[in-house]
Structure 1
Amino acid sequence: MKRLSWFSIVSLIAPLAWGGLFLFTYFVPPSAPLPILAFFLLLTIALLSTFFPLAYSLGQRLLFTRRYRATKRQALRQAILLSFIVLANLILLSLHSWNPLTALIIVIAMVLVEVLFLARKR
């Protein structure tokens, strides 16, 4: 029961965050650093609340082995890493510093971080 209510809260946050992001981008022009910062903060909340249930449910259904069992902590870490990949690429794109090589390097770095976390003994 606790898991169901916890996931229902996260499931309610995701559409609210995406709706808030949509309304923010519709009504506020990006003319100063503060609205741009608010945009990235809203995007972070929306991505985390979207990626977390996805990572947890995919980990529970597809990656179930004796050694790897998806936990909420792992799903949260994976959601943070996926959100960081998207945000880092968007920030570089907004600074006109993005290219496919930097995107590939960011993805490889996040994959290495995840592999190191999974390989760590508890």
Structure 2
Amino acid sequence: MLNFQFVAKKNNHKQETHQLLEKFYESFFIDMYNELNIDPYRPLRDAIANVLYKFTIDDHPMAYTGKLVMYIESKLVLEDLHLTNEQREILNQLRQLTKNINLSFVYQSPLTSFDQFVN
């Protein structure tokens, strides 16, 4: 019984994370500032798309989402990028959902490298 509850909770977190990622991805097309200045934001948007693909093929999507959160946070700081309040809230929710995920098997490249999300 306890194992079933754990699996159900894990699947619920996975589904919620997937929905948040889709919302985050779509927000880059809605926000006028990001759309007009898309070049610095394109790697973030593309990384989100690649992690969404990880959900489709079920390739450790939660671990890649945790890695994505760290990637986005580092890019925001290093490149002085700005997110909308909605995007920041989504990023915070993703951080909370993935904060206890083991990243040891997806940590393969520098934190700021886009290549870590490419198959």
Q: Which of the five TM-score ranges fits, normalised by the shorter chain?
A: 0.3 to 0.5
Q: Which has the higher contact order (CA 8 A, sep 6+)?
A: 2
Greater percentage in helix: 1
Give me the TM-score of the superposition, normalised by structure 2. 0.35
Give me the TM-score of the superposition, normalised by structure 1. 0.35
